Structure 1
Amino acid sequence: MTIPNMITIMRLVLVPCVIYAMISGSWDWAFAGFVVAGVSDAVDGFIARQFNQHSKLGAYLDPMADKLLLVSVFVVLGIMGHLPLWLVILVVSRDALIVCAVLLSTVMGNPVVVKPLMVSKINTAVQIVLAAIVLAQLSFEFGLGLLLPALITVSGLLTVASAAAYLVAWLRHMSGYGEGETPDR
């Protein structure tokens, strides 16, 4: 097993610890765990690139660990009233729709390779910043003024844009149109 895979597995194990800390009101531990997960994600990516330690297992585990942490944190923050439920529902629904689309295309014998789109990368970055800021705010008890509502709105808009972009790409794939092709009229 590669070092990046071991770091990713550590991130997977960290998820229930962060969630437990949140539920028990230990916001400082939850924030610290979230930061450790983020830093370890960067470290395992660096090691994989620098020392050519890419693996098929890591290609699946790494995004799974990222999504599991982020979605779990969003769900708990939503249930506890620190994020609006509409945003949590959007985030979870988008991810569920992507997973269902990938599974459906595989079952139908037309597997799709999910390539991260730029809007999706920006969306994920905004979601991470939002989760980190909310956890930091709860840990250190400071006000954010208009920053929090603005981040929530931007996160919601980007989540919808990302879902729409993936849906269009998936529909094109399932219709048999490759990149640059258009349907005959």
Structure 2
Amino acid sequence: MLAARLLPFRATRGSHGLRGSTRLSLQQHGALCIRDTSRPRCIWTQSSGLTRLPTSKPRMFSSIGTLDANGYRLATATKRILSKIPLKSSHENIYTVPNILTFSRLVAAPAVGYLLVHNYHAAALSLFAYAGITDLVDGWIARKYQLQTVVGTIIDPMADKLLMTIGVACLAVNGSLPVWLAVIILGRDVGLAISAIYYRWISLPPPKTMARYWDFSLPSAEVKPTEISKINTALQLVLVGSAIALPVVPETIISAWHLSEAMTGFQYLVAGTTIWSGLSYVFSKNAVKILSKEEVQKRIAQAAAKRKP
């Protein structure tokens, strides 16, 4: 059977690419039909794919030949016509400005960790500030210019979590954060990562291969952060930023403003919101949504329409 996914056609056209009494026509409403003019029915028809309609006795054309035991093979001229028809893609455009900015945050996260381990707190603070600014900017650009993508909903929180994970681990090694707090924060992130791996696999349409699994331009599931998770992410970013900046602040200011005591109280606050946000993903029904095939095609079509001038 010939499998093809074709873009919709508005006009009605005919083609004599098939010999004998068989004709290929591109009909209205996106239907492609190979019709036997001696019979009032289609041999093949296409809407979402090219499907053979059953007949009582498959008719054989010596000039065309057979495709298999139950179907027909298209003539060479007809194949050339089909080869010029653009194929509908199940992939979305991931090369957008918001996604590029998000990817730069992914690259910045290991650099921040390296600077913290080697006690370059000023440089680490500058790079951390860049990550925070781009986190705000890419979201604004995506909303302003309608550049939201499914992959963006995945790599955006991934970039935040990678920066948070590396920052928390390195600050715990330096003694800037207590180990118990690092265990709570990293433990929650590990649990969410395992859940994301699981949902990505079960939502991936067949064939399930590792190449398709890591192809994030092939959307299959959408993650929607809960409200408490958004608040917790912001608090964690402030916590890590404060822990990075504290060694840079002069000791006189730390003593005058009691920043060490304030930092301790803030650590307990972040511990509470971290546990709360982790439980919200467990009990929320809308945190993870597995996309159906129709939803994937609809979103890609909408994104393509928005990109047209």
5+ residue gaps, structure 1? 174-185
Corresponding residue for residue 158 of structure 1: 273
Q: Which residue of 2 aligns with 1:149?
A: 264
**Partner residue in 2 for 1:116:** 225
TM superposition shift of 1:80: 1.2
Q: 1:72 aligned to 140, 149, 166, which one?
A: 166
> 3-state SS of the aligned residue for 1:145?
helix
TM-score by length of 1: 0.83
Say which SS state the counterpart of residue 247 (structure 2) adopts.
helix
Report the Cα offset of residue 94 of structure 1: 0.6
Maintained 8 Å contact 1:8/1:61 = yes
Provide the alpha-carbon RMSD of the alignment.
2.2
Instruction: Map 1:39-118 to 2 at 5 A.
Output: 39-104=133-198, 114-118=223-227
Amino acid at match of 1:153: Y
Distance 1:145 1:17 in 2: 26
Distance 2:281 2:129 in 1: 28
> Could you report, residue by residue, the CA deviation over 1:9-59 in whole angstroms, capped at 9, with x for unpaired residues?
111111122111111111000001000000011111111111111223322
CA distance in 1, matches of 2:130, 2:241: 11
Residue 12 in 1 paired to residue 106 in 2? yes
Q: Which amino acid aligns with 2:281?
A: Y
Give the secondary-structure state (helix, strand or coil) at the position aligned to 1:4: helix
Structure 1 match to 2:238: 129
Q: 1:106 to 1:61 in 2, by over 3 A?
A: closer
- Say whether the 8 Å CA contact 2:113–2:166 is kept in structure 1: yes
Q: CA deviation at 1:112?
A: 7.5
**Identity over aligned residues, as a percent?**
32
Contact 1:102 1:112 in 2 (8 A): no
Counterpart residue type for residue 137 of structure 2: V
SS in 1 for 2:147: coil
Counterpart secondary structure, 1:53: coil
Cα pair 1:27 1:135 within 8 Å, conserved = yes
8 Å Cα contact 2:171-2:177 kept in structure 1: yes
Q: How many residues align?
A: 171
Q: CA deviation at 1:99?
A: 2.2
Larger Rg: 2
**Partners of 1:130 and 1:58 in 2: CA distance:** 25
Contact 1:78/1:85, CA 8 A, preserved across alignment: yes
Larger RCO: Structure 1 or Structure 2 (Cα < 8 Å, ≥ 6 residues apart)?
Answer: 1
Alignment gaps of 5+ in structure 2: 1-94, 204-219, 289-309
Question: Paired residue for 1:37, among 131, 134, 142?
Answer: 131
In the other structure, the counterpart of 2:97 is: 3
Name the CA shift for 1:112/1:167 in 2 (closer, same or farther; >3 Å).
farther
Looking at structure 2, the residues matched to 51 and 104 of structure 1 have their Cα atoms a distance apart, in angstroms, of 32
**Deviation of 1:95 (Å):** 1.2
Q: CA deviation at 1:104?
A: 3.8
2: CA distance, partners of 1:47 / 1:106: 26
In structure 2, the CA distance between the partners of 1:56 and 1:164, relative to structure 1 (3 Å rule), is: closer
Between the aligned partners of 2:162 and 2:233, the Cα distance in structure 1 is 13
